[in-house]
Structure 1
Amino acid sequence: MRILISGASVAGPVLAYWLTRYGFAVTVVERAPSLRKTGGHAVDLFRPAMDISEKMGVLPRIERMVTGTTALTAYREGKRGVRVDLSKVFLATSDRHVEIMRDDLSEIYYDATSQDVEYVFGDSITSISEDGEVTFERGAPRRFDVIVGADGLHSNVRRLTFGDESAFTHHIGAYLAVLSVPNYLGLDGETIMHLRPGKSAGFYGAKHLDDGRAVFLFRNETPLEYHHRDVGRQKELLRERFAGTHPQVDRWLSELDGSAAFYFDAITQLRMDTWSRGRVTLAGDAGYCPGPAVGGSTSLAVLGAYVLAGELAEAGGDHARAFAACEREMGDLVDQSRAFALGAAKALIPSGALGVWGLVQGARLISALPAGVSRALAKLNSKGVRMHDSMTIREYATRVPSV
C-alpha cells in the first residue's frame, strides 16, 4: 500500500516513521529544496510527544539538543527586571518536557526515517484525483492509495481537497514573529523580555546556536492585511508595532533585513468538521492547529501522526475506517488544546497594565515556590497548564497492511 505525505517538518516524518514500521510504502514530498538548517524557533515537547519519541529511539538525541533555557528576566515599562526560574515553571506544566529548536527537531525525525522513506524535495502537489492520481509541479504523475497533508497551517493539500483556508481559520487576536539576531548579549540559557500591554518582545540564546532569537507577540483583534509569503510586508508590520518600545527592542528590529531566520504569522486556529475526504486526510497543523506558540501544536502534531499511523495499521489499510477512528481518538484532545490556547493567548499577551503585572507576579510566585509545591498545585487542574501532560497514548500492534 502506497502512501504519500506532503510536508517534511514534524508531523510528516513522524507519520512516515510509524507507517514504514507497520509495513506501508511511504513517499514524502516537500516544497523546500532541502531541510531547513537555520534553527527556526523554539518549540515545546510535552509528555505524549516525549513518549512517542522514546519509542522511536530518538529521545536521547532530542535531549542533547535542548535549548537549555532556564531563566527569564521580565521588564515592565519603567520597572526593574523581575527574575523568573523557568525550570520551575516548566516543572509546573509538565513532568516530562523539553524545549528544542524546531529545525533541529525536524532533522532528528528526518534522520530516523531517511533510510526507509522516499523523500522528494523541491516539489509540490498540484492536483489529487478521487482514485489517488497525484500530479506535481516538477515530477511525473503518480498514484497513491492514501494522501496525507502534513504541510502546516497554510496546507496546500487542504486547499486542493477542502478549499480556501479562510473557510476554516479562526483568528484569536494574536500574532507571533521570530527572527535571528547575533547573540551580542552573550545569553546562555537565559531569556530577557520587555512586556507592554498588548505586546511583548523577548530575546534568548540557545545551545547549538551561534546566534540568538528575538521573539515578538502582539494582539490585534482583527486580521492584518498581508499574504503569508509576503515577507517584506510582514517585516513592515512588525516594525510598525514594536519600533520605540525599548532601545534593546529597536536593536533587534535593526536585524530584520539581514536575518537568516524569520517567521511571522497570526496565531490561528483551524476548525474543521472533518480532516478527511476520500483518500485524503490531514495531520498536525494542516488539520487541527490549536494555535502556534500557545496551544501545544508541535506535541499535538507528533501525537496525531502516531495515532493516524496506528489506526491505518489496525484497519489493515482501510483508509475510511482508519480516518474515522483517528478523528474519534484525537477529537477531544484537539478541542481541549483549542480551549487552552484561547486562554493562554490572553494570559501571555495581556491587553492592560494590570494583566502585565499579574503575568509577571504569577511567574515570579511559581519560581519562588518549592518545585514540588508548584507542581502539586498545577496537577489539580488537568485541563489547565497540565493539559498537555495529561494526554495519553495508545499502544498499537505492529501489523502489515492487507491491502
Structure 2
Amino acid sequence: MNNYLITLGKKAKQAARFLGTASTTVKNQALKEIIQQLKMDKPTLLAANQQDILNAKETNLPEAMIDRLLLTSERIDTMCSDIETIIGLSDPIGTVDKMWKNEDDLMIGKQRVPLGVIGIIYEARPNVTTDAASLCFKAGNAIILRGGKEAFHSNQALVTSMQTALEMVELPKECIQLIEDTSRETAKEFMQLNGYLDVLIPRGGAKLIQTVVQTATVPVIETGTGNCHVYVDKDADLKMALEIVINGKCQRPSVCNSTETVVVHEDIADVFLPQLEKALEVFKVEIRADETARKFIKVSTLATEEDFATEFNDFILAVKVVQSLEEAIDHIDTYTTHHSEVIVTENYTTSQTFLKQIDAAAVYVNASSRFTDGSVFGFGGEIGISTQKLHARGPMGLNELTSTKYIIYGNGQIRN
C-alpha cells in the first residue's frame, strides 16, 4: 500500500475524531476564517488558476472544459458566499431524529453522527474543492481531496489557504487534505484505502464515475453523470419551452445539469423546432436529430443511439420527436442517467404522470434542469449530485454527509 496515502489516511482519521466532537460554534468560526483567508489570498488563487488555464490551452482542452476550470474574482466571491450559506445552516451533528421508550423501559434515540473520513475524486472544477471541504467540515467529517491534474495548481492554492485558516483557529489542518500525486496509480490506490476512507464520492464525467465504481473497494456514492432531457409536450407554452431549452443547453453546457436531449411531441414539432434551431444558431449549437425532427430543421446531422446516450458537455444537442407522452417517457427511461429530467406542459394531468413515472433524482415541471444544484436548493453548495438510491439521492448537503447511531438510556435493565 502507498505509504503517502496511508499517512494522509492516518492524519485524516485523527482529525475526524477531533471534528466529531467539535461544537457548531467552533466549526462556524473556522469556516468564517476560511472565507477571510480565501479573500485575502485571491491574487494567489487567481495566479495559480492562470497557470492551470495556460496549461489547459496548450493541451487543447475544449473551451467548455476551460470554462469549468476558470476562476475569476467573481467566482471566488461566489465560493465564499456559498460557505456563508453553510455557516447559516443548522448543524445536524448530535441532533436526535426521534426518541422513544420501548417495553423494557429503555429510552432509545436515533442520533446524527459524521460519516468520518470522506474521499472525493473529481475533475477540473476548483469550486468543488471549497464546496466539498466546507460541507464535509461542517458535518464533522475530515476530507481527502483528489482533483484532476488540469486544476492541480488551483486546488493546491485553495487547500493551502483553507489549511492556513484552520491553523489560525487552532484546528488540525488535516481536516482538509489534498492528494498532490495526480498519477492514475495513486488514484487507484486511493479508491482502495480501506481502513482509512469511510466513503468515496466521485464527481465528474461518466468515465471517471464508472472507473471509481468498478475499481473501488471502499463504499462509493455514485454521482454526477447528467444525460438530462427536456420533453416539450403538445400542451406546452412554446415560448416558455424555448427559454427553458436554451437556458438548459447554453448557459453552461459543461456542467452535469445541462440539457443534452430535447424530446418534442409531433403535434408541435413543425412550429417549435424551427424556432429552436434559430435560437440555437446564436450559440452555434450543433444539432443531432432523428429522421422526423430533421424534416423541420434546416441544418442537422442524423442522431445515433450513441448521441442519445451521451453527456456532451458541449454545444451539442440531440433532438427526438415522439408521438405521445408514453413514447417520451420510454425514450427518457432508455437513456436517462437518473439525474434531472424536465417536462414543459400546461396540462396538469400530463405533468403528474411525468412526475410519477420518471425515475430521476430531480424531476421538473416547467423549469430548467440547471437548477439541480446544492446552492440553489439552499444547501450552501453540494458534495455532488447522487444519482443512486441508497443513502442519498440528488444534491448532497449536510444531512447527506451524516449517518446515524442509536443511543440507549437504561436503568440497570438486563434482557431475559
TM-score (norm 2): 0.24
Higher relative contact order (CA 8 A, sep 6+): 1
Structure with greater Cα Rg: 2
The structure carrying a bigger strand percent of its residues is 1
The structure carrying a bigger helix percent of its residues is 2
TM-score (norm 1): 0.24
